Amino acid sequence: MESNVQFLTFIALLVCVPVANGWGIDGHLIICRIAQPRLSEAAADAVSQLLPDFAGGDLGSVCSWADRVKFRYHWSSALHYIDTPDDLCTYQYNRDCKDEDGIQDRCVAGAIKNYTNQLLSYRDHDAASQYNLTEALLFLSHFMGDIHQPLHVGFTSDRGGNTIDVHWYTRKAVLHHIWDDNIIETAEERFYDSSVDELVDTLQKNITSVWSNQAKAWAACTTTACPDAYASEGIKAACDWAYKGVSEGSVLEDEYFLSRKRVVNLRLAQGGVRLAATLNRIFG
Protein backbone atom coordinates (compact mmCIF):
# COMPACT_ATOMS: atom_id res chain seq x y z
CA MET A 1 0.00 0.00 0.00
CA GLU A 2 2.89 2.38 -0.73
CA SER A 3 0.53 4.70 -2.61
CA ASN A 4 -1.30 5.37 0.66
CA VAL A 5 1.65 6.91 2.54
CA GLN A 6 1.21 10.41 1.13
CA PHE A 7 -2.55 10.12 1.53
CA LEU A 8 -2.26 9.22 5.22
CA THR A 9 -0.11 12.27 5.88
CA PHE A 10 -2.58 14.46 3.98
CA ILE A 11 -5.70 13.09 5.61
CA ALA A 12 -4.23 13.46 9.10
CA LEU A 13 -4.10 17.21 8.53
CA LEU A 14 -7.81 17.27 7.71
CA VAL A 15 -9.35 15.40 10.61
CA CYS A 16 -10.27 18.55 12.53
CA VAL A 17 -11.28 20.69 9.58
CA PRO A 18 -14.98 21.68 9.94
CA VAL A 19 -17.30 20.85 7.08
CA ALA A 20 -20.99 21.19 6.24
CA ASN A 21 -21.50 19.62 2.83
CA GLY A 22 -23.33 16.55 1.58
CA TRP A 23 -25.24 15.12 4.46
CA GLY A 24 -23.74 16.94 7.41
CA ILE A 25 -21.09 15.24 9.51
CA ASP A 26 -23.74 13.39 11.53
CA GLY A 27 -25.55 12.14 8.43
CA HIS A 28 -22.44 10.54 6.95
CA LEU A 29 -21.40 9.21 10.36
CA ILE A 30 -24.81 7.58 10.80
CA ILE A 31 -24.71 5.86 7.41
CA CYS A 32 -21.24 4.44 7.97
CA ARG A 33 -22.06 3.38 11.54
CA ILE A 34 -25.13 1.54 10.27
CA ALA A 35 -23.06 -0.12 7.54
CA GLN A 36 -19.99 -1.33 9.42
CA PRO A 37 -21.65 -3.91 11.71
CA ARG A 38 -23.39 -5.38 8.67
CA LEU A 39 -20.15 -6.19 6.84
CA SER A 40 -19.21 -9.78 6.09
CA GLU A 41 -16.00 -11.12 7.60
CA ALA A 42 -14.16 -10.64 4.30
CA ALA A 43 -15.45 -7.11 3.81
CA ALA A 44 -14.74 -6.14 7.43
CA ASP A 45 -11.16 -7.38 7.04
CA ALA A 46 -10.65 -5.44 3.79
CA VAL A 47 -12.10 -2.26 5.29
CA SER A 48 -9.86 -2.66 8.33
CA GLN A 49 -6.80 -3.05 6.08
CA LEU A 50 -7.70 0.03 4.02
CA LEU A 51 -8.71 2.42 6.79
CA PRO A 52 -5.98 4.84 7.95
CA ASP A 53 -4.52 3.90 11.34
CA PHE A 54 -5.86 6.97 13.13
CA ALA A 55 -9.45 5.97 12.25
CA GLY A 56 -9.14 3.29 14.93
CA GLY A 57 -11.07 0.86 12.77
CA ASP A 58 -14.09 3.19 12.68
CA LEU A 59 -15.28 3.86 9.13
CA GLY A 60 -17.70 6.49 10.42
CA SER A 61 -14.88 8.68 11.70
CA VAL A 62 -13.65 9.34 8.14
CA CYS A 63 -16.93 9.26 6.22
CA SER A 64 -16.91 13.04 5.78
CA TRP A 65 -13.37 13.07 4.39
CA ALA A 66 -14.58 13.53 0.81
CA ASP A 67 -16.14 16.88 1.77
CA ARG A 68 -12.97 18.03 3.49
CA VAL A 69 -10.76 17.46 0.45
CA LYS A 70 -12.78 19.48 -2.06
CA PHE A 71 -10.47 22.47 -1.64
CA ARG A 72 -7.51 20.31 -2.72
CA TYR A 73 -9.23 17.86 -5.06
CA HIS A 74 -11.21 20.49 -6.95
CA TRP A 75 -12.13 17.92 -9.59
CA SER A 76 -14.14 15.99 -6.99
CA SER A 77 -16.76 18.68 -6.31
CA ALA A 78 -19.02 17.62 -9.19
CA LEU A 79 -19.01 14.02 -7.92
CA HIS A 80 -21.21 14.73 -4.92
CA TYR A 81 -24.53 15.35 -6.69
CA ILE A 82 -26.69 15.04 -9.80
CA ASP A 83 -28.57 17.90 -11.45
CA THR A 84 -31.83 16.87 -13.11
CA PRO A 85 -34.15 18.89 -15.40
CA ASP A 86 -36.43 21.19 -13.41
CA ASP A 87 -39.82 19.76 -12.43
CA LEU A 88 -39.54 16.51 -14.43
CA CYS A 89 -38.91 14.57 -11.21
CA THR A 90 -37.05 11.86 -13.12
CA TYR A 91 -33.43 10.77 -13.42
CA GLN A 92 -31.66 9.23 -16.41
CA TYR A 93 -27.96 8.40 -16.26
CA ASN A 94 -27.11 9.27 -19.87
CA ARG A 95 -29.03 12.55 -19.69
CA ASP A 96 -28.12 13.72 -16.20
CA CYS A 97 -24.77 12.25 -15.13
CA LYS A 98 -22.46 15.01 -16.30
CA ASP A 99 -20.75 18.04 -14.78
CA GLU A 100 -21.37 21.71 -15.57
CA ASP A 101 -19.02 21.44 -18.56
CA GLY A 102 -21.04 18.55 -19.97
CA ILE A 103 -18.40 15.89 -19.25
CA GLN A 104 -20.19 12.56 -18.95
CA ASP A 105 -20.01 10.25 -15.92
CA ARG A 106 -19.06 13.10 -13.58
CA CYS A 107 -21.84 12.88 -11.02
CA VAL A 108 -22.40 10.96 -7.80
CA ALA A 109 -23.77 7.90 -9.61
CA GLY A 110 -20.79 7.82 -11.95
CA ALA A 111 -18.42 8.24 -9.00
CA ILE A 112 -19.98 5.29 -7.19
CA LYS A 113 -19.50 3.13 -10.27
CA ASN A 114 -15.90 4.30 -10.67
CA TYR A 115 -14.79 3.72 -7.08
CA THR A 116 -16.62 0.40 -6.94
CA ASN A 117 -14.59 -0.74 -9.94
CA GLN A 118 -11.38 0.47 -8.33
CA LEU A 119 -12.09 -1.45 -5.13
CA LEU A 120 -12.81 -4.63 -7.11
CA SER A 121 -9.06 -4.72 -7.81
CA TYR A 122 -8.32 -5.15 -4.09
CA ARG A 123 -7.20 -8.78 -4.36
CA ASP A 124 -5.34 -8.27 -7.64
CA HIS A 125 -2.10 -6.68 -6.42
CA ASP A 126 -0.90 -5.65 -9.88
CA ALA A 127 -4.21 -3.98 -10.75
CA ALA A 128 -4.65 -2.44 -7.31
CA SER A 129 -1.27 -0.74 -7.47
CA GLN A 130 -2.58 1.82 -9.97
CA TYR A 131 -5.19 3.07 -7.48
CA ASN A 132 -5.21 4.51 -3.99
CA LEU A 133 -7.72 2.09 -2.51
CA THR A 134 -7.93 3.91 0.82
CA GLU A 135 -9.19 6.98 -1.02
CA ALA A 136 -11.48 4.79 -3.13
CA LEU A 137 -13.06 3.32 0.03
CA LEU A 138 -13.60 6.73 1.60
CA PHE A 139 -14.99 8.25 -1.59
CA LEU A 140 -17.36 5.32 -2.13
CA SER A 141 -18.57 5.36 1.48
CA HIS A 142 -19.23 9.10 1.30
CA PHE A 143 -20.90 9.08 -2.11
CA MET A 144 -23.21 6.24 -1.10
CA GLY A 145 -24.38 8.64 1.57
CA ASP A 146 -24.71 11.62 -0.75
CA ILE A 147 -26.85 9.79 -3.28
CA HIS A 148 -29.38 9.06 -0.53
CA GLN A 149 -29.79 12.74 0.38
CA PRO A 150 -32.80 13.69 -1.78
CA LEU A 151 -31.53 17.15 -2.74
CA HIS A 152 -28.28 15.67 -4.03
CA VAL A 153 -30.46 14.56 -6.93
CA GLY A 154 -32.28 17.86 -7.25
CA PHE A 155 -33.18 20.47 -9.84
CA THR A 156 -30.57 22.19 -11.97
CA SER A 157 -31.81 25.78 -11.67
CA ASP A 158 -31.75 25.90 -7.85
CA ARG A 159 -28.66 23.68 -7.53
CA GLY A 160 -30.45 21.09 -5.43
CA GLY A 161 -32.12 23.65 -3.19
CA ASN A 162 -28.94 25.63 -2.56
CA THR A 163 -30.43 28.87 -3.92
CA ILE A 164 -33.80 28.59 -2.12
CA ASP A 165 -33.66 30.84 0.97
CA VAL A 166 -36.02 29.84 3.77
CA HIS A 167 -36.31 29.97 7.55
CA TRP A 168 -35.84 26.88 9.70
CA TYR A 169 -38.05 27.95 12.56
CA THR A 170 -36.47 31.35 13.39
CA ARG A 171 -33.10 30.87 11.65
CA LYS A 172 -32.24 31.72 8.08
CA ALA A 173 -31.12 28.76 5.99
CA VAL A 174 -31.12 27.38 2.48
CA LEU A 175 -33.33 24.41 1.71
CA HIS A 176 -30.38 22.16 0.86
CA HIS A 177 -28.77 22.75 4.25
CA ILE A 178 -32.00 21.84 6.02
CA TRP A 179 -31.80 18.38 4.48
CA ASP A 180 -28.06 18.08 5.03
CA ASP A 181 -28.09 19.10 8.68
CA ASN A 182 -31.09 20.80 10.28
CA ILE A 183 -33.62 17.96 10.20
CA ILE A 184 -31.09 15.54 11.69
CA GLU A 185 -29.85 18.02 14.30
CA THR A 186 -33.38 19.00 15.35
CA ALA A 187 -34.37 15.33 15.65
CA GLU A 188 -31.31 14.61 17.79
CA GLU A 189 -32.09 17.53 20.10
CA ARG A 190 -35.79 16.76 20.42
CA PHE A 191 -35.91 12.96 20.48
CA TYR A 192 -32.43 11.55 21.12
CA ASP A 193 -30.98 13.64 23.96
CA SER A 194 -28.71 15.40 21.44
CA SER A 195 -26.93 12.09 20.86
CA VAL A 196 -26.06 10.85 17.39
CA ASP A 197 -25.33 7.43 18.92
CA GLU A 198 -28.91 7.15 20.18
CA LEU A 199 -30.20 7.96 16.71
CA VAL A 200 -27.92 5.32 15.19
CA ASP A 201 -29.15 2.74 17.71
CA THR A 202 -32.78 3.57 16.92
CA LEU A 203 -32.25 3.23 13.19
CA GLN A 204 -30.37 -0.06 13.64
CA LYS A 205 -33.25 -1.44 15.70
CA ASN A 206 -35.80 -0.31 13.11
CA ILE A 207 -33.80 -1.99 10.33
CA THR A 208 -34.06 -5.32 12.15
CA SER A 209 -37.70 -4.88 13.19
CA VAL A 210 -40.18 -2.57 11.45
CA TRP A 211 -38.06 -2.34 8.28
CA SER A 212 -36.71 -5.89 8.27
CA ASN A 213 -38.57 -7.05 5.17
CA GLN A 214 -37.85 -3.83 3.32
CA ALA A 215 -34.17 -3.95 4.27
CA LYS A 216 -33.67 -7.17 2.35
CA ALA A 217 -34.99 -5.46 -0.77
CA TRP A 218 -32.85 -2.37 -0.12
CA ALA A 219 -29.70 -4.49 -0.16
CA ALA A 220 -30.58 -6.28 -3.40
CA CYS A 221 -28.64 -5.41 -6.56
CA THR A 222 -28.07 -7.42 -9.74
CA THR A 223 -24.61 -5.90 -10.22
CA THR A 224 -21.95 -4.83 -7.72
CA ALA A 225 -23.45 -1.36 -7.22
CA CYS A 226 -26.85 0.09 -8.15
CA PRO A 227 -26.60 3.89 -7.83
CA ASP A 228 -29.06 4.60 -10.65
CA ALA A 229 -31.88 3.04 -8.64
CA TYR A 230 -30.93 5.11 -5.59
CA ALA A 231 -30.80 8.30 -7.66
CA SER A 232 -34.27 7.64 -9.08
CA GLU A 233 -35.57 7.24 -5.52
CA GLY A 234 -33.76 10.45 -4.59
CA ILE A 235 -35.37 12.74 -7.14
CA LYS A 236 -38.78 11.28 -6.31
CA ALA A 237 -38.22 12.02 -2.61
CA ALA A 238 -37.00 15.51 -3.50
CA CYS A 239 -40.19 16.24 -5.43
CA ASP A 240 -42.58 14.54 -3.00
CA TRP A 241 -41.03 15.86 0.21
CA ALA A 242 -38.08 18.27 -0.02
CA TYR A 243 -39.44 20.76 -2.57
CA LYS A 244 -43.14 20.21 -1.92
CA GLY A 245 -44.85 23.19 -0.33
CA VAL A 246 -41.62 25.22 -0.25
CA SER A 247 -40.96 28.53 -1.97
CA GLU A 248 -38.51 31.38 -1.50
CA GLY A 249 -38.94 32.78 2.00
CA SER A 250 -40.96 29.86 3.39
CA VAL A 251 -40.91 29.38 7.15
CA LEU A 252 -40.45 25.68 7.83
CA GLU A 253 -41.48 24.53 11.28
CA ASP A 254 -43.08 21.48 12.94
CA GLU A 255 -45.40 20.53 10.08
CA TYR A 256 -42.46 20.27 7.70
CA PHE A 257 -40.02 18.84 10.24
CA LEU A 258 -42.17 16.04 11.63
CA SER A 259 -43.32 14.78 8.23
CA ARG A 260 -39.88 15.01 6.62
CA LYS A 261 -38.01 13.47 9.57
CA ARG A 262 -39.44 10.08 8.61
CA VAL A 263 -38.06 10.45 5.08
CA VAL A 264 -34.61 11.44 6.35
CA ASN A 265 -34.51 8.47 8.74
CA LEU A 266 -35.52 6.13 5.94
CA ARG A 267 -32.86 7.45 3.56
CA LEU A 268 -30.16 7.22 6.24
CA ALA A 269 -31.14 3.61 6.95
CA GLN A 270 -31.23 2.73 3.25
CA GLY A 271 -27.84 4.34 2.72
CA GLY A 272 -26.27 2.34 5.52
CA VAL A 273 -27.76 -0.98 4.45
CA ARG A 274 -26.77 -0.41 0.84
CA LEU A 275 -23.23 0.70 1.65
CA ALA A 276 -22.72 -2.52 3.60
CA ALA A 277 -24.25 -4.64 0.84
CA THR A 278 -22.09 -2.98 -1.80
CA LEU A 279 -18.89 -3.48 0.21
CA ASN A 280 -19.88 -7.12 0.85
CA ARG A 281 -20.27 -7.68 -2.90
CA ILE A 282 -16.98 -5.92 -3.66
CA PHE A 283 -14.88 -7.84 -1.16
CA GLY A 284 -16.70 -11.15 -1.41
Q: Which one-letter amino acid corresponds to residue 56?
A: G
pLDDT at residue 85 tops 70: yes
| C-alpha–C-alpha distance, residues 14 and 8, integer Å | 10
Provide the 10 A C-beta neighbour count for residue 279: 28
What is the pLDDT at residue 22? Answer: 63
Torsion sign, CA atoms 149, 155, 156, 161:
negative
CATH architecture of 4-74+81-283: Orthogonal Bundle (1.10)
pLDDT tens per residue across span 150-172: 999 999 999 999 999 999 999 99
Q: Would you state the torsion angle of the CA atoms of residues 119, 38, 20, 138, taken in this order, to the nearest 10 degrees?
A: -20
Of 268, 6, 270, 8, the C-alpha closest to 138 is 8
pLDDT at residue 227 tops 80: yes
Provide the 10 A C-beta neighbour count for residue 171: 9
Domain residue ranges in the chain: 4-74+81-283
Residues linked to residue 104 through DSSP beta bridges, in sequence order: 98
pLDDT at residue 141 tops 60: yes
Q: What is the DSSP letter of 105?
A: T
How does strand 251-252 pair with strand 165-168? parallel
Provide the 10 A C-beta neighbour count for residue 24: 22
pLDDT tens per residue across span 1-48: 444 444 444 444 344 333 335 699 999 999 999 999 999 999 999 999
Cβ partners under 8 Å of residue 107, min gap 6:
78, 79, 81, 82, 83, 96, 97, 98, 99
pLDDT at residue 68 tops 80: yes
Largest Cα separation within the chain, whole Å, is 56
pLDDT at residue 277 tops 90: yes
Of 26, 23, 137, 146, the C-alpha closest to 78 is 146
What is the pLDDT at residue 103? Answer: 98
| Secondary structure (3-state) at 63 | coil
What is the pLDDT at residue 126? Answer: 78
| C-alpha–C-alpha distance, residues 8 and 51, integer Å | 9
Average pLDDT on 235-248 reads 98
